[in-house]
Amino acid sequence: MKTLKTNKGERGLAVIMTVLTMMISLPLVGLAFDVGILYMIRGKLYQSVDAAALAGARALGTGADGPTQKSNAQAAATKYFNANYPTNFWGTISVNFPTPTVDDTTVPNYRTVTTSATIVAPLYFLRMLGQNTAVVAASSQAGRRDALVMLVLDRSYSMLNTFQSTTACAIMKTDAAQFVTNFSQGRDMVGLVIFGSSAYVYPPTTSFGTPDANGNTVASLIGQIVCNGNTNMVEAMHQAYAQIQAVNASTRANVIVLMTDGRPNGFTGNYQPYEKGTCNANPLRGVYAQWNGGPLPVGQAGTTAGLMLWSAPNAGYNADAVTPDANNNCQMKSTGDLTNGHNDLKQMPAADVYGNSTTGPYSANNPNSPYNSTDLTSKLTSITVPSWVEDASSNAVDNQGTTIRTNATLKPSIYTIALEGNAPSDPPDTLLLRKLANDPSMENDPDSTTRTMWAAQNPGQTRGYFVDAPDPGELCAAFNQIATQIVVRLSK
């Protein structure tokens, strides 16, 4: 057997090659290790300055005046940075977080909070090359646009349902008042619409937290709400939009925030062309609604009522009063019984008084999806079927939403909250509320009908946000989600 021999020269070459390889590979390994640690430290630093910028932008909404709001923003940003970047994180030292910068002059109705930080990070393997530390820096900026917020609150009868020894109505009033505190007096504008069958409107103002000539604030008006009546949602949405149009501020974030626990079940119409019997009133304008019956099968009767007053005189108004346009020859007025309205009227109009079509794709009679391509014009010929009144009302508010979202100048966004679990027999239509908001979650929804709606509305229409509150106890969290979405954005 032949033995392979290695001479001394070959053994020496192997040693040299090994040494050379180690001289190259060990620094590379060290570089990879140190760079990996630096990336991790840098990621944590960016996370911390982002959190600080967002916290500072949110704090711009607190304080009675500009200097106080600026000071609050800087304090909040510093607090959040310190909370998110632990002391001696991976051995880092010399943490420097300068006082955040607040810019409230460059862009009208827009303020930014800019944060930055530097730290000194230790190196390990690269010390053999004489490099002991490295400086890591990060910066972030969050913007807060001054908002015009119309808060639209459902005060319908179902809000009186009890929840944990109180009512959904009482919980809503507390949580809605807290929601208002997220906005900055003197810069943001906040207005209010309270609706049942009729709607009460309080115009938006920058002094929403200061008592007006009548001693009212937005929060105190919310506290005056007395729940009762129907769900004339399209009236409320129209009135909220009209207030945004009246202010006409294209530099603000124009927002409607709608909270409801049920489906639309009434609308304000001009019924003068559809009178019958001895009514003969001119004009004849009012709210027709379903009082019970919900989404019943086609042709099944329930209780419908009208015509009712559409404009509430004060925040605490909760009556279903007959429209003042009715004369004594109308049974709805002569008997004092609004359920006699169908004896005075032949049918529902093809549009509400604001031009929103009452026909469209909505039908509560479809068990799989309330939206289909059926022409619902024939349903307007009857006003005694609750579900048909509900269909017409839903189409009207759906069409009003399209009008709002397609205003290319003011770019209003709609944010919606569905209070579920409060009215099990007639719950809110979450698909309709998502559609009103043009919520981005519709884009990848497993339901093809929902995706089709999203495709039809984008990219040309403004996008809002939908939040589901499973029960009244979740309303506060829902309002807080909406508040954060409205005005604060990272703008790195």
The CA-atom distances, in angstroms, between 272 and each of 20, 282, 283, 284 are 99, 6, 6, 5
For residue 421, pLDDT beyond 50: yes
Looking at residue 60, its pLDDT comes to 85
Looking at residue 368, its pLDDT comes to 45
For residue 388, pLDDT beyond 80: yes
367: left (phi over 0), alpha (psi -120 to 50) or beta: alpha
Tell me what the mean pLDDT of segment 392-398 comes to: 91
Q: Which of 38-42, 268-272, 301-305 has the highest mean pLDDT?
A: 268-272
Choice among 22-36, 160-174, 246-260, 299-313 with the minimum mean pLDDT: 22-36
This prediction's pTM: 0.82
For residue 32, pLDDT beyond 50: yes
Among the listed residues 269, 432, 274, the one whose alpha carbon sits nearest the alpha carbon of residue 345 = 274
What's the CATH architecture for 18-145?
2-Layer Sandwich (3.30)
Among the listed residues 305, 379, 310, the one whose alpha carbon sits nearest the alpha carbon of residue 348 = 379
For residue 226, pLDDT beyond 50: yes
* Beta-carbon-side half-sphere exposure of residue 28 (alpha carbons within 13 Å): 6
Looking at residue 490, its pLDDT comes to 66
Q: Which of 14-18, 60-64, 158-162, 486-490 has the highest mean pLDDT?
A: 158-162
Tell me what the mean pLDDT of segment 463-485 comes to: 91
Sign of torsion over alpha carbons 151, 155, 159, 164: positive
Looking at residue 377, its pLDDT comes to 64
For residue 316, pLDDT beyond 80: yes
- Residue spans of the domains in the chain: they are 18-145, 146-492
The CA-atom distances, in angstroms, between 334 and each of 321, 323, 337 are 13, 12, 8
For residue 23, pLDDT beyond 60: no
For residue 4, pLDDT beyond 90: no
Note whether 329 and 341 are within 8 A (CB): no
For residue 299, pLDDT beyond 50: no
Spell 128-157 as b/e; 16+ CB within 10 A means b: eeeeebbebebebbbbbbbbbbbbbbbbbb
- The model's confidence at residue 373, banded by pLDDT at 50, 70 and 90, is very low
Which residues pair with residue 162 across a beta bridge?
Answer: 167
Tell me what the mean pLDDT of segment 100-123 comes to: 91
For residue 151, pLDDT beyond 60: yes
Q: Which positions ≥6 away from 261 have C-beta within 8 Å?
A: 154, 156, 158, 159, 168, 418, 419, 420, 422, 423, 427, 428
Dist CA 60 CA 67 (whole Å): 10
Which residues pair with residue 135 across a beta bridge?
Answer: 120
Tell me what the mean pLDDT of segment 222-231 comes to: 94
- The model's confidence at residue 406, banded by pLDDT at 50, 70 and 90, is very high
For residue 117, pLDDT beyond 50: yes
* Beta-carbon-side half-sphere exposure of residue 226 (alpha carbons within 13 Å): 8
Choice among 88-97, 148-157, 446-455 with the minimum mean pLDDT: 446-455
Spell 363-387 as b/e; 16+ CB within 10 A means b: bbbeeeebbeebebeebbebbbbbb
Q: Which positions ≥6 away from 65 have C-beta within 8 Å?
A: 186
Tell me what the mean pLDDT of segment 463-487 comes to: 90
Specify the CATH number of the domain 146-492: 3.40.50.410
End-to-end CA distance of the chain: 74
Which residues pair with residue 152 across a beta bridge?
Answer: 193, 258
What does the pLDDT look like over 271-296, one tens digit per residue? 999 998 888 888 999 999 988 755 54
Among the listed residues 329, 353, 325, 324, the one whose alpha carbon sits nearest the alpha carbon of residue 340 = 329
- The model's confidence at residue 50, banded by pLDDT at 50, 70 and 90, is very high
Tell me what the mean pLDDT of segment 90-119 comes to: 92
Average pLDDT, the chain: 85
Choice among 25-34, 78-87, 100-109, 144-153 with the minimum mean pLDDT: 25-34
Looking at residue 30, its pLDDT comes to 57
Looking at residue 424, its pLDDT comes to 74
Among the listed residues 66, 146, 65, the one whose alpha carbon sits nearest the alpha carbon of residue 108 = 146
Among the listed residues 160, 162, 145, the one whose alpha carbon sits nearest the alpha carbon of residue 251 = 145
What does the pLDDT look like over 168-217, one tens digit per residue? 999 999 999 999 998 888 889 999 999 999 999 999 999 999 999 999 99
Of residues 8 and 146, more confidence is placed in: 146
Tell me what the mean pLDDT of segment 29-40 comes to: 74
For residue 137, pLDDT beyond 80: yes
Tokens of 258: 């709608």
Note whether 48 and 81 are within 8 A (CB): yes
Tell me what the mean pLDDT of segment 249-259 comes to: 95
Among the listed residues 46, 144, 55, 52, the one whose alpha carbon sits nearest the alpha carbon of residue 89 = 46
Choice among 321-330, 388-397, 427-436, 453-462 with the minimum mean pLDDT: 453-462
